[in-house]
Amino acid sequence: MRQMTDLLEPHLGTKKTESVIGTMLLGTVAGDIHDLGKNLFAILARCKGIHVIDLGVDVPPATFLAKAQEHKPAMIGISCVLTTGWPKLEETVSLLRNKLPPPVPSIIIGGTSIDEHVCRYVKSDFCVSDASEGLAICHRVMNKSEDKRPKKR
Ligand code: B12
């Protein structure tokens, strides 16, 4: 999978849209090293005009916060594949909500272990277990972010 994405990415790059619609901070939650899904989503998002800052895997909550303060993204995406990652996911979302000045960027979580119950538990704005669905949500949020706060669930 990794080899395939490495091969594909340079070719997809030539099709990148010219205008950037927004910046997104992306990473896999602390304690989790799965990144195939996150990387697939990042490739799709970059092809569709989103400037993605990928923090990699096993990203501590404090790093998400520091990078969000530095880059002021329109959205923050957190990947979580392990069910054991849920507590750290909750901690990360809570830290971002409590420490970032308003308007807090919309937070989307994704990965195999994610469903609406997890979304409610961690209090994220959006949850997906499919990259294209996530991309559609990001587009909706970023295209609206000029004039109003992103629509919440
Ligand atoms: C590949 C894999 C690995 C690889 C990971 C390689 C890598 N670089 O990612 C390796 C071998 C390293 C691995 C390790 C482990 N794994 Co593993 N792994 C898998 C496996 C087979 C596939 C996961 C995967 O990549 N799926 C494909 C991707 C494309 O799907 P996805 O992540 O869901 O992503 C899609 C969407 O969710 C979405 N998406 C994903 N992230 C995001 C983020 C955002 C913001 C958005 C919008 C969308 C989005 O986009 C993608 C495309 O649609 C699964 C089993 C399975 N069949 O799912 C087990 C599985 C996830 N692993 C499991 C386990 C237990 C582990 C280990 C703990 C094993 C161990 N004892 O060491 C370690 C983890 C160590 C750690 N600290 O993280 C368990 C988890 C069980 C659980 N209850 O949580 C699973 C389910 C296997 C099992 N049945 O037991 N694993």
- Using a 6 Å CB cutoff, which residues line ligand 1? 26, 31-38, 40-41, 77, 79, 81-84, 108, 110-113, 128-131, 134
Q: Whose CA is nearest to atom 2 of ligand 1?
A: 34
Q: Is residue 6 part of a domain?
A: no
Residue 18 covered by a domain: no
pLDDT at 16: 53
Would 93 be classed as within a structural domain?
yes
| Chunked mean pLDDT (size 10), the chain, 153 residues | 78 64 97 95 91 97 98 97 97 98 96 94 96 96 62 43
Report how many helices (DSSP H) and strands (DSSP E) the chain contains, helices first: 6, 5
Residue nearest to atom 69 of ligand 1 (CA): 82
Domains in the chain: how many in total?
1
Closest CA to 31 of 9, 57, 49, 58: 58
E strands of the chain, at which residues?
22-28, 50-54, 75-79, 106-110, 126-128
- φ, ψ (nearest 5 deg) of residue 39: -65, -40
Residue-number span of the structural domain to which 90 is assigned: 23-147
Look at residue 73 and tell me if it is in a domain.
Answer: yes
Domain with 51 in it: what CATH number? 3.40.50.280
How close is the Cα of 56 to the center of ligand 1, in Å? 14
Per the domain annotation, does 78 fall within a domain?
Answer: yes
